[in-house]
Structure 1
Amino acid sequence: MIDKATLSNPKTHYGSGKHATREFRTQRLTGMLNVLLTIFFVWFVVRLAGAERAEMVDIVRNPLVALGLVLLIVNVSVHMRIGMHEVIEDYLYEGQNRLANMANNAFAIFVPAVTILAVAKIVFWG
């Protein structure tokens, strides 16, 4: 049985309560934003259906559409990183935990970075 002193000590593997609360709130906020951004994404996909490449580029070059796409991918990545972090903590042991979290964080940085660069390329260079 775990005693109260172990749970209240921030240096134990249970972590900080403030950090967990921040992640909980962030995940709920990104989840709500995902609903709104999914509506935008559905509009975007329907708008692009059957369009030629030049028309697609013109639509993505619109600053509001480009901003929506960037917000969508960043929001989804943050939400995914927090969710995967919870799964990793729950189902992997300490040794596997660190490597899996490093891979999770790298993926959550790499994918949005590449996507933002792709959107920027379309916006600035067509």
Structure 2
Amino acid sequence: MSDFRTPLRRVRGLGAGGGTEHFWQQRLTALANAVLITCFVILLLTLMNESYEGVRAAFANPFVGIIMALMVVSATIHMKLGMQIVIEDYIHGAAKLPLLILNIFFAIAVAAACLFAIVKMSFGV
């Protein structure tokens, strides 16, 4: 197997290999999303003809609220990682850093809004 590090990077212990953690995070969130979004679709199909009160009653079940919260967290992490790769690969120059920061804040805002809605539905606040 070839080594993609320069001699200076070998001495410092730096170089190729920094993307492995990102790669695995992307794959694990994709796997979690496959399971959690399947649960979400089943829940949607189950609650399709329910009234608002019926949907709130379903979300009052702690299992449903936890599964939906896990789905939101996993999906937003996956979204952030995917957009980070797109920004790093295709945006160059001064716009790169602000877009990476905006990506983080956007993911946090989406997750916070969704989690707020889930908590509101679950606890009837």
**TM-score with structure 2 setting the length:** 0.86
Measured in 1, the distance between the counterparts of 2:27 and 2:102 equals 23
Name the counterpart of 1:73.
72
Name the counterpart of 1:17.
17
Measured in 2, the distance between the counterparts of 1:90 and 1:10 equals 24
Deviation of 1:125 after TM superposition, in Å, equals 2.2
Name the counterpart of 1:119.
118
Task: Provide the alpha-carbon RMSD of the alignment.
Answer: 2.2
**After TM superposition, which residue ranges in structure 1, 4 or more long, deviate above 4 angstroms?**
5-11
Measured in 2, the distance between the counterparts of 1:67 and 1:113 equals 15
Deviation of 1:17 after TM superposition, in Å, equals 3.0
Which amino acid in the other structure matches residue 46 of structure 2?
R
Q: CA 1:45–1:6 in structure 2 vs 1: closer, same or farther (change >3 Å)?
A: farther
Deviation of 1:6 after TM superposition, in Å, equals 6.7
Name the counterpart of 1:41.
40
Measured in 1, the distance between the counterparts of 2:63 and 2:20 equals 32
Measured in 2, the distance between the counterparts of 1:46 and 1:120 equals 21
Measured in 1, the distance between the counterparts of 2:42 and 2:124 equals 24
Name the counterpart of 1:88.
87
Deviation of 1:10 after TM superposition, in Å, equals 7.5
Measured in 1, the distance between the counterparts of 2:85 and 2:23 equals 10
Name the counterpart of 2:6.
4
Measured in 2, the distance between the counterparts of 1:49 and 1:3 equals 55
Measured in 2, the distance between the counterparts of 1:117 and 1:10 equals 43
Deviation of 1:75 after TM superposition, in Å, equals 0.3
Identity %: 29
Deviation of 1:69 after TM superposition, in Å, equals 0.6
Number of equivalences: 121
Measured in 2, the distance between the counterparts of 1:5 and 1:94 equals 27
Query: Does the CA-based 8 Å contact 2:56-2:124 persist in structure 1?
Result: no
